[in-house]
């Protein structure tokens, strides 16, 4: 009762870190995969989640044809096949995989990592990180001389379910920190703040 995928369209196997994340949930995570029966990707995605369950993953898994369950698809805001939905009420997150191997190849090879990113988003409440602008901060554009950029930081914040917004004078930087701000980051400014801005 085991299988090993050595094909060109290899699917990433569930990792221990993914299973450990699932143990933190108070109730099983619901995962619904929307693939037509004819999809060549459907059995590969199904195998990944069944392997995850077999290794102790705290999830319930369902496979549906999007056209056959219109009410459920509408609830999950699914408008096409090839999508996997993670449900941890009240949070939902979609993973767009694709129904053909050609389109899904990259996602299948990194499926465990992609699942972790989506899992993180449904496990945590949405938070907001503000990045100050207007003073030559690194987040405004890549520094051409040094090549410095905050791309990796942005990706890390987004993976932790942070929404990222700019905070400058038009957004009220001189008045106060926005009420929904979890954090405000000032990243390598090249110009001084004006007198009013630090008071916020």
At residue 167, does pLDDT exceed 70? yes
Supply the pLDDT for residue 171.
81
Strand ranges across the sheet with 127-132: 162-167, 127-132, 183-185
Would you tell me how many other CB atoms lie within 10 Å of the CB of residue 108? 21
Residue of 7, 1, 19 whose CA lies nearest to 57: 19
Give per-residue pLDDT as tens, 145-156.
Answer: 666 778 888 887
Over residues 130-144, mean pLDDT: 76
- Residue 35 clears pLDDT 70, i.e. is over it: yes
Q: How many residues does the chain have?
A: 200
**Contacts with 85 (C-beta within 8 Å, 6 or more apart), sequence order:** 31, 32, 33, 34, 76, 78, 92, 93, 94, 95
Please choose, from the candidates 157, 140, 159, 42, the residue with its C-alpha nearest in 3D space to the C-alpha of residue 93.
159
pLDDT, one tens digit per residue, over 55-111 is 988 899 999 999 999 999 999 999 999 999 999 888 889 999 999 988 888 899 899
What residues contact residue 191 under an 8 Å CB cut-off, 6+ apart? 134, 135, 136
For residue 37, give every residue at least 6 positions away whose Cβ sits within 8 Å of its Cβ, in sequence order, or none. Answer: 65
Query: Cis link prior to 90 (omega < 30° from 0)?
Result: yes
Record the tokens describing residue 38, joined without a space.
């004819």
Q: Which helix (H) or strand (E) holds 125?
A: none
pLDDT attached to residue 1: 61
Predicted TM-score (pTM) above 0.85? no
Determine the Cα–Cα distance for residues 143 and 145; give it in Å rounded to an integer: 6
Each residue's pLDDT tens digit, 106-134: 899 899 999 998 998 888 767 788 888 88
Tokens of 41: 């990707």
Confidence category of residue 7, pLDDT binned at 50, 70, 90: low
């Amino acid at each position: 009762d085991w299988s090993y995928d050595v094909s060109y369209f290899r699917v990433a196997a569930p990792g221990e870190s993914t299973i450990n994340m699932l143990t933190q949930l108070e109730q099983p995570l619901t995962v619904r995969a929307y693939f037509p029966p004819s999809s060549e990707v459907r059995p590969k995605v199904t195998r990944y989640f069944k392997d995850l369950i077999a290794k102790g993953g705290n999830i319930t898994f369902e496979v549906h044809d999007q056209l056959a369950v219109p009410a459920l698809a509408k609830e999950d805001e699914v408008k096409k096949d090839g999508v996997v939905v993670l449900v941890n009420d009240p949070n939902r997150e979609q993973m767009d995989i694709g129904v053909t191997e050609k389109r899904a190849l990259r996602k299948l090879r990194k499926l465990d990592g992609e699942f972790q990113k989506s899992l993180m988003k449904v496990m945590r409440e949405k938070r907001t990180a503000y990045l100050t602008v207007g003073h030559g901060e690194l987040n405004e554009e890549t520094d051409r001389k040094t090549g410095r950029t905050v791309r990796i930081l942005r990706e890390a914040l987004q993976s932790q379910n942070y929404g990222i917004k700019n905070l400058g004078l038009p957004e009220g930087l001189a008045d106060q920190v926005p009420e929904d701000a979890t954090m405000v980051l000032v990243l390598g400014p090249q110009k001084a703040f004006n007198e009013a801005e630090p008071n916020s």
